[in-house]
Structure formats: C-alpha cells, structure tokens
C-alpha cells in the first residue's frame, strides 16, 4: 500500500505530545528488546534509533488496544492482528502510566467520541448546539449517529 512517506517523516519532526527513550520489541518472533526513541505525534507513534534523524518506523494508533503487562511494560495490540504485539518497557511505573494514558487518548476516534459527548451534553444543558456558531454542525465527523455506531463496535482502547 502506498503512502506519503516524505510527509510522514516530516510529521515525525513536529513537536510531540510525548517522547521518551524506551526499550521496544517488535511483533515478529525473534524480535528482541532494543533501545529506541519513541515519539508520539498526533495519532502516530514514531520510533527512532537514538540520535538518528529519520524514524525507523511509524505506527498508526487507530483500531488498537493498549495493555499494561506489568508496572513497567505496556503493549500495543492492533485489533486486526491480535497476536502481533508491540511491547515497550519504561524506566518507571509513572512513565509507563503516562505513556499508556497518552496512547489511549491519541486516536482520532477517541477524540471524536469525546467531541460527540461534549456536544450532546452542552446541547442538553443549554438547548443549543455549540458547533453552530462555527458553521460546522453538519460535518459528518461531528454527528452523534457517527458516535453511536462506533460505540457498538468500539474496542480501541483499554
């Protein structure tokens, strides 16, 4: 599948929500833990060899689940291939918690659900649609029905 690699690499250089040196293990049998600079930018997780400019790889964080293996380790599991796990080992329990939390919130779909929730709540409390003043009430991505459909099948986060 083709993708706009140059633009994605450029994205990896943007200011990130979180960046740490962690040890990471890939999903393939025989993959071992290696030290990587892991960087979260929007809904992508980039991983670099420490002090290399270009990332080795990127993970789109949609349709995935985050699990806490133990106090220092978390795993990202993609729903289409549950046997393939990306494991990350942190330095402290606190760091592990921060990462787990950040990745769960890093998906577009997660944000969409929040938006729909806020929109509905504000409408309930005020009788007004908060998106109306921005002229974006009719956008598909902000529709309540969108959220309801997602809810039935949503398992993208722990």
Question: Cα separation of 68 and 86, whole Å?
Answer: 12
| Cβ closest to other proteins, residue 91 vs residue 105 | 105
Partners of 135 in beta bridges: none
Partners of 44 in beta bridges: 41, 60
Say which residues have a Cβ less than 8 Å from residue 109's Cβ, sequence separation at least 6.
62, 63, 150, 154, 156
- State the residues that interact with other proteins by CB under 8 A: 1-11, 14, 42-43, 54-60, 62-65, 78-81, 104-105, 108-115, 117-119, 121-122, 125-128, 130-136, 139-142, 146, 149-151, 153-155, 157-158
Query: From the CB of 117, what's the least distance to other proteins, in Å?
Result: 3
Query: From the CB of 94, what's the least distance to other proteins, in Å?
Result: 17
Say which residues have a Cβ less than 8 Å from residue 135's Cβ, sequence separation at least 6.
none
Query: From the CB of 83, what's the least distance to other proteins, in Å?
Result: 12
Could you report how far apart the first and last alpha carbons of the chain are, in Å?
A: 29
| Cβ closest to other proteins, residue 72 vs residue 104 | 104
| DSSP strand pairing (44-48 vs 18-25) | unpaired
Helix (H) or strand (E) holding 9: helix 5-12
Query: From the CB of 56, what's the least distance to other proteins, in Å?
Result: 6
């Amino acid at each position: 599948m083709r993708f706009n690699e140059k633009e994605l690499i450029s994205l990896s250089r943007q200011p990130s929500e979180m960046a740490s040196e962690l040890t990471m293990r890939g999903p393939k049998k025989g993959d071992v833990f290696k030290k990587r600079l892991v960087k979260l930018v929007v809904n992508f997780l980039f991983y670099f060899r420490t002090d290399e400019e270009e990332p080795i790889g990127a993970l789109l964080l949609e349709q995935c689940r985050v699990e806490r293996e133990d106090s220092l380790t978390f795993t990202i599991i993609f729903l289409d291939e549950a046997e393939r796990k990306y494991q990350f080992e942190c330095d402290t329990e606190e760091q592990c918690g921060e990462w787990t939390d950040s990745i769960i919130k890093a998906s577009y779909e997660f944000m969409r659900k929040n938006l729909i929730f806020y929109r509905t709540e504000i409408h309930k409390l005020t009788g007004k649609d908060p998106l109306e003043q921005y002229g974006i009430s009719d956008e598909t991505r902000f529709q309540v029905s969108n959220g309801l459909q997602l809810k039935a099948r949503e398992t993208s986060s722990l």
